[in-house]
Amino acid sequence: GQNIDQPTEMTATEGAIVQINCTYQTSGFNGLFWYQQHAGEAPTFLSYNVLDGLEEKGRFSSFLSRSKGYSYLLLKELQMKDSASYLCSVLGGNTPLVFGKGTRLSVIA
């Protein structure tokens, strides 16, 4: 099976940088995804990692270490609109896309 862990809640200040960690255990590995979800809305895709290293996309970056079963999402220059839940999800060897419980990020002034 798969197990995905991420912190439940985080708070950060507008303009700052925040790192949201995700650890996972999976049989086989076909990639790790990060999604953003505002309350009551659909999740939207942020990033995809399948090889070790850092993927940068504007203010958002995502890092993966397959040997450690670890990923993080880095959000820079935080804005109030970044207040949302961030979902880590893993695609296993022959398993569907499963999600962690998500990290609720609150950005404060």
Partner 1 sequence: DSGVTQTPKHLITATGQRVTLRCSPRSGDLSVYWYQQSLDQGLQFLIQYYNGEERAKGNILERFSAQQFPDLHSELNLSSLELGDSALYFCASSSTFGRNAEAFFGQGTRLTVV
Using the minimum distance from each CB to partner 1, give the nearer residue, 30 or 65: 30
The least CB distance from residue 28 to partner 1, in Å, is 10
Interface with partner 1 (CB under 8 A)? 30-31, 33, 40-45, 48, 50, 87, 91, 95-102
CA dist., res. 109 & res. 101, Å (int): 26
The CB-of-30 to partner 1 minimum distance in angstroms stands at 5
Q: Which is nearer to partner 1, 15 or 28 (CB)?
A: 28
Q: Which residues contact 107 (CB under 8 A, 6 or more apart)?
A: 11, 12, 13, 14, 78, 79, 80, 82, 83
**Least CB distance to partner 1 at residue 15 (A):** 28
Which residues are CB-neighbours of 7 under 8 A, at least 6 positions away? 20, 21, 103
